[in-house]
């Protein structure tokens, strides 16, 4: 391979690595280069639209993908959903306070002790998981629980319920369908419902989706048929997300 071709191949690998923090979508057009240094926008937020990725939102707003993910408590693979609101600044709106400059210490024995230094605010962290969502949840399907949520594990951000093909998948609470499609890698035929400004639920691997985006649904209403799209067996992958972060669904669902 000539030197020129080798350099071209290496550049392609680096470009793919830069895009790996967002959801992969087939046929996406070339993207602009992400910023090297973030420019926070205190108080600013952005509502995720269909077709958005974390990379595209970060690039449009002059923020690095890693910073945007950190400020919003997103773990790899940094999956985002339509209807989700992302913060464009760290630290809950105030950002980190600068550290006061320490005075120069004199060498003589009679020097006064240095003035108290204002400590820096801790780095922005994900908001704590609330004890309650403020509304009741119900099980989205009947079947055997075969997979549980594991905090920080990208492939176990919800629970898996085994069942039979065509079994009803139901809304876990009242809400609005904000996504109905198969464009998020690893979820198959997917439905996402927004229940409030902070709460979403996701239903993956369906055989058939029965609702459209923008549709209002009630708790217990059938929204899909169970299947195995993107899964090795007939099952439902179910997630609950608070401010975009996955939480353990078993903390909110009633005891079986």
Question: For 234-247, how does the pLDDT look when each residue is reduced to its tens digit (9 = 90+)?
Answer: 999 999 999 888 99
- pLDDT over threshold 50, residue 30: no
22-93 has CATH 3.40.50.410 classification: no
76 Cβ partners below 8 Å, 6+ apart? 21, 154
Question: For 183-199, what is each residue's pLDDT tens digit?
Answer: 887 899 999 999 998 99
Average pLDDT, the chain: 77
**Would you state the structure tokens that stand for residue 127, as one six-digit string?**
């908001």
How confident is the model at residue 34, as a pLDDT?
53
How confident is the model at residue 162, as a pLDDT?
97
How confident is the model at residue 233, as a pLDDT?
95
Q: Is-contact 78 24, C-beta < 8 A? A: no
Q: Which residue has the higher pLDDT, 77 or 37?
A: 37
Parse the chain into domains and list their residue ranges.
22-93, 144-251
How confident is the model at residue 25, as a pLDDT?
39
Q: Which residue has the higher pLDDT, 92 or 167?
A: 167
Q: How confident is the model at residue 256 (pLDDT cuts 50, 70, 90)?
A: confident
Q: Is-contact 235 207, C-beta < 8 A? A: no
Percent helix, strand and coil across the chain, each to the nearest 5: 15, 25, 60
Which superfamily does CATH assign the domain made up of 144-251 to? Answer: Glucose Permease (Domain IIA) (2.70.70.10)
How confident is the model at residue 131, as a pLDDT?
76
**Mean pLDDT, residues 141-151 taken together:** 95
- pLDDT over threshold 90, residue 38: no
Question: For 79-111, what is each residue's pLDDT tens digit?
Answer: 788 888 898 998 753 333 333 333 334 444 444
């Amino acid at each position: 391979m000539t030197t020129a071709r080798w350099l071209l191949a290496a550049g392609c690998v680096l470009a793919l690595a830069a895009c790996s923090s967002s959801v992969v979508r087939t046929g996406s057009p070339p993207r602009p280069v992400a910023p090297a240094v973030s420019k926070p926008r205190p108080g600013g937020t952005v509502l995720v639209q269909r077709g958005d990725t974390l990379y595209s939102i970060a690039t449009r707003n002059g923020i690095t993908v890693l910073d945007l993910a950190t400020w919003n408590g997103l773990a790899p693979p940094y999956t985002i959903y339509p209807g989700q609101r992302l913060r464009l600044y760290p630290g809950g709106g105030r950002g980190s306070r600068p550290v006061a400059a320490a005075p120069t210490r004199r060498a003589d024995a009679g020097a006064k002790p240095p003035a108290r230094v204002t400590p820096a605010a801790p780095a922005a962290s994900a908001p704590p998981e609330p004890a309650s969502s403020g509304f009741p949840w119900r099980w989205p399907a009947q079947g055997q629980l075969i997979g549980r949520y594991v905090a920080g594990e990208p492939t176990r951000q919800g629970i898996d319920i085994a069942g039979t093909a065509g079994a009803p998948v139901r809304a876990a609470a009242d809400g609005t369908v904000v996504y109905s499609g198969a464009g998020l890698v690893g979820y198959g035929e997917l439905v996402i419902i927004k229940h409030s400004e902070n709460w979403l639920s996701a239903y993956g691997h369906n055989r058939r989706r029965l609702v459209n985006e923008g549709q209002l649904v009630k708790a217990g209403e059938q929204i899909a048929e169970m299947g195995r799209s993107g899964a090795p067996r007939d099952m439902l992958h179910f997630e609950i997300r608070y401010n975009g972060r996955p939480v353990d669904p078993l903390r909110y669902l009633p005891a079986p």
